[in-house]
Structure 1
């Protein structure tokens, strides 16, 4: 069994991007001379979600003995970053992370991106390909969702509806433990028992600031919904697709798709794609943390050694 790696944990740090204060954490192995490529984690968007989503993953990564540094930022509108009242789109978050890579990380990374934040990673690799050595897609969206353009008018109508007293009332209900537990069981986790107190407490705390609703409403309005198949086909970096054996889709376009079909579609498009399925559903780094770490570590080690 690998020995747990002792790490140096920075307190929350901040940088300024476009006059906004953005938060991040860095985890670095203590006294390591062979840490490999650092990981850049991109957290999902949702009620109460922020960089805290990755805490279980980070703990298990070092418990297993891996020595890569981890950069874990809060996207604008989430966690401890500023929360301006704006409609966010993947380009905004990609520009934020591009600046973060250039000014804070300053070295090549492996992107680990959760779920439907895949468009942010795609936009980022378009901007900063030379600083991205590879990508890991944890539970990426259904193929019909990530390859279909949505109407800009529909997006605007949805945003205006959310950005109203009705939307504010919905968010007050959506951040209750009752709603969060029900939604997590119905849409995110494969096992009801996995929706534990730690998960729910994290979401409730993360949604305490009502200004966090703007990032969530931007996501729900679908500003990330467009056809990304052409972009994916042009990514030359190695990409590992990790899907849950019970992977599902919230969107109606993807409800009939099986995990095997989703995997085949992604691997058929990506120039250097490989894939693996794990127990669990849609939040594998949290629900199936041990298996997720075991699955991605060889891929990252292969990038480090040039394999």
Structure 2
């Protein structure tokens, strides 16, 4: 896959980056995809590069919009606390001003609250959703205390947090964390993954998006909000899916899938080999699993 040039738009006086991927030497067909990358040390829209390459190598011709959320990648990085509503407002503007056509939203992991907030804001431009490795059900349905969120944020926003981030962006830490929490296979934590994270974390201002995530500003009870999602929704869970949070550690992948599908009005689900970063770890299986769902909208 050829590298797509970075493009920019302005939202609330911030410069925000994105890529528009299209099939090489052919015309785009079918409904476009809008990708929402995860938040973490060094993570940005680059998380999706392997998926985009695999998508087109299999002959699919949908356009893919791959934005950097504010605070990540090549987007501006204000030193503020970010909430899912902030990122949803950014993507809502992106949909209305740049994309300007219905899409299928593909969201990775614990950025699900951003997709939920986005669906609440946009009625016409979201045709369906794909939830890749969504959080454990006890996590997505439990609100953390506001005082606790603020306390963690204040600690992380201090010089201590700056020192912690410099440690957390080291290849040794990133490899250890990825093996313990993200990948089902240690061998899948490859040089491409680690090099991408190290490069993405080079600018230490990227720590504010990560700290906002660690502070738990996304930790709300979204059970009722999920029942309001009327669009067809595909939930994909890893066969060895796990939870970083204590609340979800006892949950099995089957239980997670069952709970989500019981709540989503038009939900359907599937399990795939892998753990928590399926579009990266199990790219081929992930592309094969979502292709029929996306084809239904063409």
The reply to whether TM is greater than 0.5 is yes
- Counterpart in the other structure of 2:221: 227
Match of 2:105 among 73, 97, 111: 111
Separation in 2 of the partners of 1:262 and 1:107?
32
User: Which of residues 45, 58, 65 is equivalent to 1:71?
Assistant: 65
What residue number does 1:4 align with?
A: none
Contact 2:54 2:284 in 1 (8 A): yes
Post-superposition Cα deviations, 1:117-139, rounded to whole Å, max 9, x if no partner, equal 00000000000121000000000
Kindly indicate whether residue 43 of structure 2 is the aligned counterpart of residue 49 of structure 1.
yes
1:225 CA drift (Å): 0.3
User: Is the aligned partner of 1:39 residue 2:28?
Assistant: no
Q: Tell me how far 1:190 sits from its aligned partner.
A: 0.1
CA distance in 2, matches of 1:226, 1:9: 37
Whether contact under 8 Å (1:29, 1:35) holds in the other structure is no
**Deviation above 3 Å: which 4+ runs of structure 1?**
7-10, 30-34
Quick one: which of 198, 205, 208 aligns to 1:211? 205
Aligned residues of 1:9 and 1:26 also touching (Cα < 8 A): no
Residue aligning to 1:127: 121
Give the 5 Å matches for 1:75-154.
Answer: 75-154=69-148
Task: Give CA deviations for 1:128-175 in whole Å, capped at 9, x if unaligned.
Answer: 121000000000000000001111110000100000011111101000
CA distance in 2, matches of 1:93, 1:16: 14
For residue 231 of structure 2, the aligned residue among 223, 237, 249 is 237
Following the alignment from structure 2 to structure 1, what is the Cα–Cα distance between the partners of residues 28 and 165?
45
Q: What is the aligned residue count?
A: 298
The TM-score, its normalising length taken from structure 2, stands at 0.98
**1:169 correspondence with 2:172:** no
Instruction: State the Cα distance separating 1:31 from its structure 2 match.
Output: 5.8
Q: Aligned partners of 2:29 and 2:243: how far apart in 1?
A: 36
Determine the C-alpha separation between the residues in 1 that align with 2:44 and 2:27: 30
Q: 2:17 aligns with which of 23, 36, 40?
A: 23
C-alpha contact 1:8 1:29 (8 A) present in aligned 2: no
Instruction: Give yes or no for the alignment of 1:286 onto 2:288.
Output: no
- Asked whether the equivalents of residues 85 and 114 of structure 2 are also in contact (C-alpha less than 8 Å), the reply is yes
CA contact (8 A) 2:168 2:174 kept: yes
Q: Which residue of 2 aligns with 1:3?
A: none
In structure 1, C-alpha distance between the alignment counterparts of 2:159 and 2:152, rounded to whole Å: 13
Cα distance between partner residues in 2 of 1:25 and 1:10: 6
Match of 2:6 in 1: 12
Partner of 1:302: 296
| Pairwise CA distance, 1:60 | 0.1
For structure 1, list consecutive stretches of 5 or more residues without a partner in the other structure.
Answer: 1-6
Asked if structure 1 preserves the Cα contact closer than 8 Å seen for 2:14 and 2:76, the reply is yes
1:10 Cα deviation from its structure 2 partner: 3.9
Does the residue aligned with 1:110 lie in a helix, a strand or coil? strand
